[in-house]
Structure 1
Amino acid sequence: MLRRSILTGVASLLLSAVPLVATGEDMSKTPLHAAAGQNNVATIRKLLAEGVKIDARDGSGATALLVATHGNRIEAAKALIEAGADVNAKDNIEDSPYLYAGARGHLEILTMTLAHGADLKSTNRYGGTALIPASERGHVETVRTLIEAGVAVDHVNKLGWTALLEAIILGDGGKRHEQIVDLLVKAGADVNLADGDGVTPLQHARTRGFATIEGILTAAGAH
C-alpha cells in the first residue's frame, strides 16, 4: 500500500504539470500567433481586419489566444477575446486558454475567459478541471475566482484526486495552501472524500505534518 501510494504521488507530479509552452508551438505559426506571442495588439487588429481566421491553429493545435495565454500576454488576449476568439479551443494536449489560465494563475486572462463563455466543466488531459491544478500550485485568488464562478469543488481527476487532495498532497503546507484548503472547505468540499488508495485528506495532512490544515479539516468534520 505504501509503495503504491508513493508511486501514485510520483506519477502525479509528472502528470499534473501543465507545460509552460505546448510542444511544437513554433510549428506552422501564423502571423496572428506571432503577434499574440509578442503582445502586439496593433498587428492583431490589423490581421483580423484583413480577415485572418481568429482560431487558426499552429503545429501544436494552439490558437493565437492560447499562445497569448501561455505568455500571459494580457493585452493580446483581451484583443483576441473581444474579437470573438474561442476561450475553450483546445490544443493537441487538451489545454485551452481557460484551462491554462486557471492552471497557471493568469488571473486577468482567466477572468476574461470566464466572462466570455468558459466551459466550467471542461477538463485537461488528466481529467482535471481548472480548479485542481490551481489548488495544487497555490494560486489563491485563482481558486477563489473559480469557486465563485461555480467550478465543482469535488470533481475527481484521473488520478483519483480532488482539488482538496491535490492542495494537500502536492502543496507545501504553507500559507497559500492553508488558505486554499480553507476556501475549498468553506465552498463545501467533501473533507472525507478519499483518494484511490482510500487515504483521506485528513490522513494526508497528518502524514505531512500540516497542523493548520489538519485543524481546518477537523473543524469541518474530517475523520
Structure 2
Amino acid sequence: MLKALIFDMDGVLVDSMPFHAAAWKKAFLDMGMEIQDRDIYAIEGSNPRTGLPLLIRKARREPDAYDFETITSIYRQEFKRIFELKAFDGMKECLEVLKTRFLLSVVSGSDRSIVYGIVDRLFPGIFDTVVTGDDITNSKPHPDPFLKAVKLLKVRREECVIIENAILGVEAAKKAEIYCIGVPTYVEPWQLDRADLVVGDHKKLMEHLLSLEPALRFRI
C-alpha cells in the first residue's frame, strides 16, 4: 500500500538549480577555476563533501589543492545574494491535496539552513520529515538519504514513491530499491531512464501524483 511520497527539493519543488549553478560558478572563478552548468547539473543531489571533488576534477585541477570550506563559503554567500524563491506553478496546491492522502518528506543534498529556509517559507506545515545534506554522511547517489527518510517516516520502502529530477537522485532511489518518478527539469529525459516512470514536465508530474491513491501497490 502506498503510504508516503518523498520529494527532492531543487528542481522538483522549487526552480532553484540555476541559482545554485551561478553561485558555484562564482565560487570557482574566485578560486581561479571554470566550470559549466552541465557539470553542476550532472552532480545535482550530492552535498559539497562529495560533489566538490567531482567539480574540481572537471576544472582539470586536483581536489587536494583546494580548501572545500572556502569554496563552499563563497558559494553560500553568493547563493543567498542572488536566490529568488519560487515554487513551480501549482506545486504548493498539489502538495496540500497530497498531504490529505500520504505522508510527505523532502530529501535534499543542500545545506540545512537553505532547505529549511525554503520549506518554512513556501511549504509551511506540509512535510512530515525533512532530510538535508547535513543530516547524512553519504549523499546521493548513495541510498542513505532516502533510507533515512523511510526510517523517519516509519514506513517500508515498498510503501514509498520518490520524485526526483536529478541523475544522481534517481540512482540513489534505485539503490534504495524504492519506486522512482523522474521529471527532467534540467536534463534530457533519457538521462533519467533508470527511473520507473519519467514524466514530461511538472504539469504532467502533478497530474500523475494527484491520480495516486493510498491503495496503489508498486513493484520495484
TM-score, reference length from structure 1: 0.28
The structure that has the greater radius of gyration is 1
Higher relative contact order (CA 8 A, sep 6+): 2
Q: Which structure has more strand as a fraction of its residues?
A: 2
